[in-house]
Amino acid sequence: MENPKIQPDKITKPIQLLAVWFAGLVLLVGLLLTGAKTINEPIWLVPVLAISAILIIPIFLYFVFLLQTKYRPQMQEDTFYSRYLDTSTNKTVILTEESTINSTVIELQNQVIQLTESNKTYLKNIESLIKDTKSQDTKKISEIEAYIKTSNENFTKVEENIKKSQFQIKLNRLLPKFSEYRLAIVKNGFENLEEFTGGGGKLLDRALISVGMNVDPKFVLEVIKILKPLGLEIINLINNGHQQEKRKNEVVVGSHAYNNTELVTLNIDSVFIETLSNIENKELFQSMFK
């Protein structure tokens, strides 16, 4: 069987290039850790290889976030990018073939999350090895332990930020406390935020949050805890009509759907929040609205 080869002429999109980077990162980290495990002499080379394998990860994640922010339109599916080119260049872009929405970016984000989890395990193993090693150089050991602690904190922060970027919050400007809602969302690290206005310019009577079918319940819980003190009172699912697929990764804060009798709407009270805090998957969360 022939080994699969990367064909450079086939790599035509930023997301494809990023996937190649990721594959190279996994290979490089594996080689460094394998080398650290198998090499015995010189002794100083082992920690150098291990620390190098760890340092590569945050550097790679930095460039992932750079692509997700500065080059976000280019990272989206063809239909979205064509609309972006329309508005940014005032030229109509015609797609040569039918484009379909894909989940490549989300899959890549999940792979990065898995990578951070695996590196947390590596750090724990290194920390355990240090504790089991008899050494008189307590200062050096303290420095390494401090580095491991900082790295773990950074991995956790990166993982949380990636998870937050997977879903989009849409905030209605017609909410009575719109500015306070916006400040609370941004202050808590939710950068994937878009504002909108609807309903003929009339202020909303009730503060409703509508949740897409693909949104993680932990994400929903975090948003609710932030916005509940500002008056968020009811919740429903976007689970009917053409909106279900279109808004599956969205959380609409200030939805106009509170008068829609076809949707099951629940009060956001202490019982609801407690129940939601014990839910681990989307299926159980969605069952609350049946």
pTM: 0.54
For residue 265, the tally of other CB atoms under 10 A from its CB is 19
Radius of gyration of the chain, Cα coordinates, nearest whole angstrom: 23
Residues 184, 187, 193, CA angle at the centre, nearest 5°? Answer: 75
Assign 4 to helix, strand or coil.
coil
For residue 167, what pLDDT is reported?
A: 85
Assign 268 to helix, strand or coil.
coil
188 Cβ contact partners less than 8 Å away, ≥ 6 residues apart: 222, 226
Query: Token pair for residue 13?
Result: 């999109």
91 Cβ contact partners less than 8 Å away, ≥ 6 residues apart: 85
Side-chain half-sphere CA neighbours of 151 within 13 A: 26
Place of tokens 């202490």: 270
For residue 99, what pLDDT is reported?
A: 38
Mean pLDDT by 10 residues, the chain (290 residues): 46 58 74 72 74 78 68 52 49 41 51 62 63 60 69 70 80 92 91 82 88 92 95 92 85 86 89 93 91
Ramachandran assignment for 231, one of left (phi > 0), alpha (psi -120 to 50 degrees), beta (any other): left
For residue 49, what pLDDT is reported?
A: 74
DSSP of 115-170 = HHHHHHHHHHHHHHHHHHS--S-HHHHHHHHHHHHHHHHHHHHHHHHHHHHTSEEE
Euclidean distance between CA atoms 287 and 158, whole angstroms: 31
The answer to whether 170 touches 196, Cβ cutoff 8 Å, is: yes
For residue 128, what pLDDT is reported?
A: 65
For residue 43, what pLDDT is reported?
A: 72
Helices (H), ranges, the chain: 14-38, 45-69, 78-89, 104-132, 138-165, 178-187, 217-227, 243-246, 270-277, 282-287
Assign 72 to helix, strand or coil.
coil
Label the pairing between strands 193-196 and 234-238. Answer: unpaired
Query: Token pair for residue 211?
Result: 């949740």
Reported as type and span, the H/E element at residue 172 is strand 168-172
> Is it true that the peptide bond before 42 is cis, omega within 30 degrees of 0?
yes
Name the maximum alpha-carbon separation found in the chain: 74
Euclidean distance between CA atoms 18 and 265, whole angstroms: 41
256 Cβ contact partners less than 8 Å away, ≥ 6 residues apart: 172, 198, 199, 204, 208
| Among 122, 84, 79, 104, residue whose Cα is nearest residue 15 | 104
The answer to whether 205 touches 174, Cβ cutoff 8 Å, is: no
